[in-house]
Amino acid sequence: MDVFNKFYSTAVHTVSQLSAALPGNNVTREYEVLEFVCTAGIGLMWKVYNGYKKSTKQEVSVFVFEKKALERWSKDDRETMLETLRRGVQQLTKIRHPHVLTVQHPLEESRDSLAFATEPVFASLANVVGDAVRSEKKLYDVEIRHGLLQLFDGLQFLHHDAKIVHRNISAETIVINKNRSWKLFGFDFCIANQPATDGTPHWPCREYSTSLHVLAQPSLEYTAPELALHSVNTPDSDLFSLGVLIFTIYSGKPLKMFGSDYSGFRRYATELNQRKYPPMNVIPNELTESLRALLHPSATLRPKLHELKQIAYFQDVGVKTLSYLDSLYQWDNLQKSKFYKGLPQIIPTLPHRVNLHSILPYLVKEFINSPMIPFVLPNVLLIAEMSSQREYCDHILPHLKPILKLSEPIQILLIFMQKMDLLLKLTPAEEVKQHVLPLLYRSLECDMPQIQELCLAVLPTFSTLIDYNAMKNALIPRIKKLCLQSSNVSVKVNCLISIGKLLENLDKWLVLDEILPFLQQIQSREPAIVMAIIGIYKIAMTNTKLGITKEVMAHKCIPFLVPLSVENGLTIAQFNTIISLIKEMLGRVEHEQREKLQQLSTIQRDNKPKDASEILANELEGSTLSPTSSIGGSNGNKSEDDMFSGFSVGQSIASQSTVTPKPTLTTVKPKEQLKISHTTTATTKPDILSSLMQTNLNSLGHNAIAAGAATPAGPTYNASNNTSNWHSTNPLVLNHQLASPQPSNNNFTSLDGLDPFKNNGSQNQGQVKTGGSSNGANMYTLQQPTVNYIYPTGYNATSNSMSSMQQSMSMNKLMSTGAATPALKPQTPAQVSDSKNLNTLSQQDILNFLN
C-alpha cells in the first residue's frame, strides 16, 4: 500500500507540475492531456501521459520533458542534453516501421518544455522489469519471447534498410505500446551510415567523454566492449546491447553497473574478452548459449538476427501465433481464413492479457474486410468470454457495434445468435436496446430457419430489457408474421413457444387483443403446433396477471379448442391435455357465472319493494305472537292497519267514542278459531241468503287452508260510500256468486235489506240489539237463520266496527224503499278509522284474514 500511495502522490505531483509546464506548448492546442502513465528515454526523463486528439478523439500518448529538470546541470550540459533530445525525436519522426514507435505529432518546444505525441503507450521496458514491479505489469514469458522477436525485426530494419546503428539499446529506450508490442525508441545517439570511398558501409565512432554528463552519452552498462577496446562502432555493437537487455529482463538489472566510471568499463571489457561471463542461472536453458554468443567480445562472432529467430527458444506455439499476426497484412484471405479457424484452439492456452492486448487488436482490424468477419468474429467472442464486463465494454464492444448492424454475410447473424447469451451477459442494458435488439429483428426477418429458431430461443431471455412499446409494436408483430408465413413447422412451434415464454411480460389486454385472436388465425394443425397453442391458452388462463375472463372463454376459447381435440394425429396424452383444459375452462365459466347470478338475485331481492300482502302477513304474525298485543288491535302505529280494529257485536254507536281499557290478549295456538254466532229474523228468502253466505265462507275457508301458501293481493276495497255498493265489493257476498232473488211482495231491489246486523244510522240507533230486533222504519220483520262467522285467533272484535256495519246495512234498506233519508250525523273518530282501514285492504287480504 505504501508503494501504491507513493506512486499515486508522485503522479499527482507530476500532473500539477505538468499543468504549469504545458500551457505554453503547441501540443496542447490539438491534444487533450490526461493522466500520467510511465517514464521513458535516457534516465527516464520523458514523462508519458495519456491523451486524445481534440478534433478526432483519437487516443494518443504525449511525451513531455520539463526543462527545469536540467537546472542542476551546467549550462553546457543543459544545451547538450536538450540538443540530444531534440535530435532523438526528430530521428524517430523520420523512421516508419511497425516495431519503431510511431510519432503522431512532431516535437513542439516552448520555454518550459519539449513535447510530442505518439501512439498509445503502456510502459517502457524499464518500468516493467525488476522485483519492484507490480504483478499486473509483470511480463509473461510468451510476451518476452514475442517482444524480443519484434526487437529483432526492428533492429534488422535499422541495420539493413535504414543503415542506422542505434547505439543506445537499453530497457529505458524500449517502449511497449497499448497492444503490448515492443517498439524501438531513444534514437538520441544513433549514427547513420556514412559509406567509405570504396562504398563499404561505415559508422563513425564517437568516443566516450568523461567531461560530458552521463545522461548526455550512451549508457556504459549496454555499450559493446569494442568501443573501448578498438574504438569501433558497427551494427554488431547493437547485438551486444541486445544481449545485455535480455539478461536485464530476466535478472532485473544489467550485467554490471558502471555509471560514469569509464575505466571500470574498460576493465570489464577486458574480462569479457577472456570469456569471463557472469552467472546466468535465471536465463532459460534454450536461450543460454545464444545469450553467451551475443555477449562475445568479438563483434564478428556474434550471431546474426535471422539466426537468432531460428533457435528453439522462439519456437513456442504462442510466440508463432503472435508472430503470424504481426505479418498478417501480407497474407491473402485464404491463408487468413485457415489461420483464424485454428486460432480458437490456441487462445485458451495464452494468458488473458496477451489475448486481450496482443491478439484482439489484430482481429478487430479485420472487421473492415467483410468476407473475413465470419472467421474473425468467433475468436473475438471467445476472448470476450474470458473478459470482465469492464474489459468487454472498453476493448471489445466498441468494435462490435458496427458489426451488429450488418446482415451480410449471413453467417454473422448465426454467430451472434449462438453467442447471444454472452452478449446479453456483458452488454449494458442501454446498449442492448440500441444495438442488440435491431439485430434480433433482422434475424427474425432473414430466410434461414436455423437463425430464426436461434433468435426465437434467445428472445425470452432478455424480455425484461424490452420496453412495452417495442414489445407491442416491433417484436410481437414480427413473431406473428413469421409464424403465419413460415412453411417450417419447427419455426412455427418455436414462434408459439417464444410467445408463451413472453406472456408473463405482457399485460392482460395485449394478450386478449393480440395473442388469442392470432392463435385462431393459424391454419396448421400438426400435433406439435396444437400443443403449443394449448400451452399458450393454459398459461393465459392460469396466470393471475393475465386471467382470461369467462366471457372470452365462453365465446372464443372453448369454441376454438373443442375442434382441436378431434384433430387426427393426436396421442392419448395430447388428447387428455386438451380435454382437461376444456373442462377446466367450463368449470371456471360455470363457477363464475353461478356466483354472478346468485349475487344478482340477492341484490334484486334486497331492493324489491314489499307488497301489501307481505306487509299485512308480517304485521299479523307479529301481533299474534307478541305477548303485549291488546284486544282492540295492534299497538301504537299498527292500529290503522287492522280492518276490524274496535269491532264488537252488539255495541252501540254512542259507545264508539268511549275509550275503554283493552285487556291483554293471551297467546293462542295458530290453528284455533273464534266462532261468533248471532240470530236474525228474515221474512224474504232467508234460506237462499243463509246458504249462499255459508257456502261462500266454507268454500273460501277450505280452499285457503288447503292451499297453505301465501295469498296474492286482491283488488283494494273502496269504502268511500258505505251505503250504496257494499254488497258489490264485500268479499263475503259477490254479485256474480249470488243467485237472483225471486219476485216477492216486498219492494227490495237488492240484498241490502237483508242486513243481518240491522244497523241504521238514523234516529233508531238506540233500538239495535244483538241477536236481532225490529226496525221502526220498516213495516215488516225479517227472520234470518243463525250464521257462524269464523275469525282468526288474532282478531279482536269491538262493538264499534259491528255497529258501523249495521248502520251501513240500515241505510241501504232505507234508500231501497224510498224512505226519506235522515240527516247524517258527523262521523266519530272511530268511524273514520274504520273507513280508512277498509280503504287499505284488498279483496284477497280480507279473504286471507277470514281464513
Q: Residue 22 has what pLDDT?
A: 65
**Average pLDDT of the segment spanning 695-716:** 42
Q: Are 324 and 355 in contact (CB under 8 A)?
A: no
pLDDT tens-digit map of 195-245: 877 778 878 887 778 788 888 888 888 988 888 778 888 889 999 999 999
Distance, in Å, from the CA atom of 462 to the CA atom of 426, rounded to the nearest integer, reads 12
pLDDT tens-digit map of 458-513: 888 777 777 778 888 888 888 888 888 888 888 888 898 888 888 887 778 888 88
Pairing of strands 121-124, 182-184: unpaired
- DSSP string covering 442-485: HHHHSS-HHHHHHHHHHGGGGGGGS-HHHIIIIIHHHHHHHHHH
Q: What percent of the chain has pLDDT over 70?
A: 70
Angle in degrees, CA 31, 34, 35, rounded to 5: 150
- Looking at the domain that runs over 2-127, which CATH code has it been given? 3.30.200.20
Buried (b) or exposed (e) across 352-369, using 16+ Cβ within 10 A?
eebbbbbbbbbbbebbee
**Average pLDDT of the segment spanning 374-403:** 92
Residue 88 CB-density burial (10 A; 0-12 exposed, 13-18 middle, 19+ buried): buried
**Average pLDDT of the segment spanning 429-439:** 86
Q: Which residue has the cell 466498441?
A: 398
Q: Residue 842 has what pLDDT?
A: 53
The count of C-alpha atoms lying within 13 angstroms of the C-alpha of 235, restricted to the half-sphere facing its C-beta, is: 20
**Average pLDDT of the segment spanning 374-402:** 92
Amino acid letter, 801: S
Packed helices 373-385 and 397-404: angle between N→C axes, nearest 10 degrees: 140
SS3 107: strand
pLDDT level of residue 611 (50, 70, 90 thresholds): low
Q: Residue 92 has what pLDDT?
A: 93
**Could you tell me the three cell numbers for 565?**
381435440
Q: Which residue has the cell 492456452?
A: 349
Q: For residue 9, what are the β-bridge partners?
A: none
Q: Residue 735 has what pLDDT?
A: 43
- Return the top range by mean pLDDT from 442-451, 606-615, 727-736: 442-451
pLDDT level of residue 344 (50, 70, 90 thresholds): very high
Distance, in Å, from the CA atom of 64 to the CA atom of 757, rounded to the nearest integer, reads 140
Angle in degrees, CA 387, 393, 395, rounded to 5: 70
**Average pLDDT of the segment spanning 740-764:** 42
Nearest to 617 by CA among 737, 722, 704, 551: 704
Q: Are 125 and 176 in contact (CB under 8 A)?
A: yes
> What are the Cα distances from residue 815, in Å, to 16, 625, 687, 753, 812?
135, 44, 24, 9, 5
pLDDT tens-digit map of 16-73: 445 445 667 888 889 999 999 999 998 899 999 999 999 998 999 999 999 888 888 8
Residue 533 CB-density burial (10 A; 0-12 exposed, 13-18 middle, 19+ buried): buried
Q: Are 518 and 560 in contact (CB under 8 A)?
A: no
**Average pLDDT of the segment spanning 517-535:** 86
Number of H helices, E strands in the chain: 36, 12
**How does DSSP classify residue 783?**
B
Residue 49 CB-density burial (10 A; 0-12 exposed, 13-18 middle, 19+ buried): buried
pLDDT level of residue 554 (50, 70, 90 thresholds): confident
Sign for the CA dihedral angle at 749, 751, 754, 755 comes to: negative
pLDDT level of residue 748 (50, 70, 90 thresholds): very low
Listed by start position, the domains of the chain span 2-127, 467-604, 624-850
Q: Residue 383 has what pLDDT?
A: 94
**Average pLDDT of the segment spanning 517-527:** 85
Q: Are 106 and 116 in contact (CB under 8 A)?
A: yes
Q: Residue 185 has what pLDDT?
A: 93
